[in-house]
Amino acid sequence: MTSSKNFKKNLTYSDVYNCPVCRHGEISAIPLMEAFACNFCRHIFTANLEKQLLKMADSQIPLTWRWDGQNWRGMQRQGFEVGWFYWIAGMAFVMIPPTIVGVGAYLFPPLPSDPLFWFPFVWTPLTFLCHLACLLWLVVEYYQFPVLMYLGAITQRLWIR
């Protein structure tokens, strides 16, 4: 494969591309079929060469990528931009609840003799982590990054070794 940065190529069945799912393997056309397959994660893709689109064929989730000549771009949902407002709302969603819990525990600390004295020290970080996980899940969903498939491909590779 040519590693030149400025080299652009179109999506065709005669070429080899890096896999948009595992980002480890390479996808190439399956002989006698208008489809691509990855040599690492074994996923199968169908392509729309006119629109330079690649669609995962063996998945329930409608994952689609557009080839920009050098890289795969996850297809954004039409007519919806992630603006600064969403990032601020996301940060507030992650930061405000643990702050409330933490400030509450700081202003009204439990008695050291209380059997649940440790509770605020666990609950505050747990609140933070749970809200962060919700936000990350939304980001992953929005950008269509197939986390589970990626992890599956990595584990598969470790097992094969």
Sign of CA dihedral 150, 152, 153, 158: positive
Angstrom CA distances, 64 to 1, 21, 81, 85, 131, stand at 23, 10, 18, 26, 28
- Residue 38 lies near Zn ion (rule: CB under 5 A): yes
- Residue 41 lies near Zn ion (rule: CB under 5 A): yes
Question: Residue 146 Cβ, how far from Zn ion at the closest point, in Å?
Answer: 10
Phi, psi at 48, each rounded to 5°: -115, 95
The binder of Zn ion chosen from 11, 17, 22, 94 (CB under 5 A) = 22
Stretch that binds Zn ion, among 23-31, 44-52, 61-69, 70-78 (CB under 5 A): 23-31
Other CB atoms within 10 Å distance of the CB of residue 150: 15
Task: Name the residue type at position 105.
Answer: A
The binder of Zn ion chosen from 11, 21, 54, 56 (CB under 5 A) = 21
Other CB atoms within 10 Å distance of the CB of residue 13: 14
- Residue 44 vs 135, nearer CB to Zn ion: 44
- Residue 36 vs 98, nearer CB to Zn ion: 36
Angstrom CA distances, 37 to 17, 59, 90, 123, stand at 10, 13, 37, 46
- Residue 43 vs 131, nearer CB to Zn ion: 43
- Residue 54 lies near Zn ion (rule: CB under 5 A): no
CA distance 96 to 91: 8
Site size for Zn ion (CB under 5 A): 7
- Residue 56 lies near Zn ion (rule: CB under 5 A): no
- Residue 20 vs 98, nearer CB to Zn ion: 20
Question: Residue 88 Cβ, how far from Zn ion at the closest point, in Å?
Answer: 36
Name the site residues for Zn ion (rule: CB under 5 A): 19, 21-22, 25, 38, 40-41
